């Protein structure tokens, strides 16, 4: 007997809201509630050394266009990961008020009715799916790059062929590898690479998505309760007062969230634009040369980049829509049946809700579905310039 769809959805429901983000950020010592400087130092040291090796390789192969582009494809995201980790480490204390409110909401109950529960579950599951799917996809891409040279080396050894020892990741070896034992040591050193890069790429993003979707669900609940508030004066005033105070609190938290992640998202947006440009160019080159395995790699990579950009823009679109919905909820209440002093309070609430909440990238880009089109167009424009130059 098949279970209903809602039962499958419940599997991804996180009752504590922030569990997945806590797991990812905790591994690198960047969870705001439980900062671990030693763990962060070990994490950032490993990633910086790996990034430095990639940059050295890039400089050494600068005369070879094909090798340079391949190295940029891998080194550019790792540089962004280092920048994101350091920037989040500097600003993560700003997120503490949001985490406190989330824990309070969980303890007091996230919903009161079946309709509110559907809203909470939808946004909660969306945040969980983003965290898990982005982590898996971004883990899969470097793992493919890691496994390909090892498999090729093992097959060549098995077939008794000679093959230069190629490291799994495109990094500069400290000295020339001539023995299998030395090659094995470098491979062991690079084993944690996929995991650590995944943590750096998705940890802060997962927290941003989780907190934003939580705010969206609570804004939707505020709008729902405003539409259905009892207009009996003795009941209306205390309930409406509580809803206005809740709305004000959510606005304050959304501004904190936007300010905390604004500079980080600016770096991420630039990274998405240039990464998509370079990856699509690599995809075109490999498809023309007939390298099937490399083509598959770059298809997966480009899909992951496009999906990530769409998720950010969809996230911002949800926040804009839910914050704008509050003013409509105030307007569609039976305000004409209320005393004059109560209708005045609605005017102030509507006026404040007319300015929607935004997620911005360095105060330049407002994340929305329209911005997604801008990111794709900018990437294709840079791609055209790159093709004309090269």
For the chain, the structural domain boundaries read 5-389
Return contacts of 21-27, CB within 8 angstroms, 24+ apart: 21/131, 21/203, 21/206, 21/207, 21/210, 24/131, 24/135, 24/199, 24/202, 24/203, 24/206, 25/199, 25/203, 25/204, 25/206, 25/207, 27/199, 27/203
**How far is the C-alpha of 315 from the C-alpha of 258, rounded, in Å?**
12
Stretches where the chain sits below pLDDT 50 are 1-5, 158, 160-163
**How far is the C-alpha of 98 from the C-alpha of 96, rounded, in Å?**
5
The predicted pLDDT at position 276 comes to: 81
Which residue's structure tokens are 């980790």?
85
The predicted pLDDT at position 4 comes to: 46
The predicted pLDDT at position 175 comes to: 58
The predicted pLDDT at position 319 comes to: 92
The predicted pLDDT at position 123 comes to: 92
3-state SS class at 200: helix
The predicted pLDDT at position 55 comes to: 83
The predicted pLDDT at position 253 comes to: 93
The predicted pLDDT at position 7 comes to: 61
The predicted pLDDT at position 95 comes to: 92
The predicted pLDDT at position 320 comes to: 92
């Amino acid at each position: 007997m098949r279970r209903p769809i809602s039962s499958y959805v419940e599997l991804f429901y996180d009752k504590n809201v922030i569990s997945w983000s806590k797991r990812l950020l905790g591994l690198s010592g960047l969870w705001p509630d439980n900062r671990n400087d030693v763990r962060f130092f070990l994490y950032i040291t490993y990633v910086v050394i790996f990034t430095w090796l990639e940059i050295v390789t890039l400089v050494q192969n600068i005369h070879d266009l094909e090798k340079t582009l391949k190295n940029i494809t891998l080194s550019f995201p790792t540089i962004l990961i280092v920048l994101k980790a350091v920037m989040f480490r500097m600003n993560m204390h700003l997120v503490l008020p949001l985490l406190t409110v989330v824990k309070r909401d969980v303890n007091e109950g996230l919903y009161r009715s079946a309709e509110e529960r559907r809203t909470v579950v939808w946004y909660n599951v969306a945040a969980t799916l983003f965290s898990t799917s982005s982590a898996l996809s971004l883990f899969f891409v470097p793992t493919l790059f890691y496994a390909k040279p090892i498999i090729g080396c093992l097959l060549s050894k098995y077939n008794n062929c000679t093959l230069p020892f190629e490291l799994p990741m495109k990094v500069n070896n400290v000295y020339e590898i001539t023995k299998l034992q030395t090659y094995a040591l470098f491979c062991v050193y690079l084993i944690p690479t996929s995991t650590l890069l995944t943590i750096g790429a998705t940890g802060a993003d997962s927290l941003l998505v989780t907190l934003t979707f939580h705010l969206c669900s609570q804004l939707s609940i505020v709008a729902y309760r405003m539409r259905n508030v009892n207009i009996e004066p003795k009941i209306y005033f205390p309930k409406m007062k509580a809803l206005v105070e809740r709305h004000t609190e959510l606005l304050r938290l959304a501004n904190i969230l936007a300010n905390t992640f604004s500079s980080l998202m600016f770096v991420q947006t630039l990274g998405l634009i240039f990464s998509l440009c370079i990856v699509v160019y690599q995809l075109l080159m490999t498809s023309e040369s007939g390298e099937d395995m490399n083509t598959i790699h770059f298809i997966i990579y480009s899909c992951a980049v496009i999906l990530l950009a769409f998720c950010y823009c969809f996230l911002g679109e949800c926040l804009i829509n839910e914050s704008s919905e509050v003013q409509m909820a105030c307007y569609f209440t039976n305000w004409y049946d209320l005393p004059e002093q109560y209708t005045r309070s609605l005017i102030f609430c509507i006026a404040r809700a007319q300015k929607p909440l935004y997620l911005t990238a360095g105060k330049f880009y407002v994340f929305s579905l329209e911005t997604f089109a801008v990111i794709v167009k900018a990437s294709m424009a840079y791609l055209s310039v790159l093709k004309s130059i090269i």
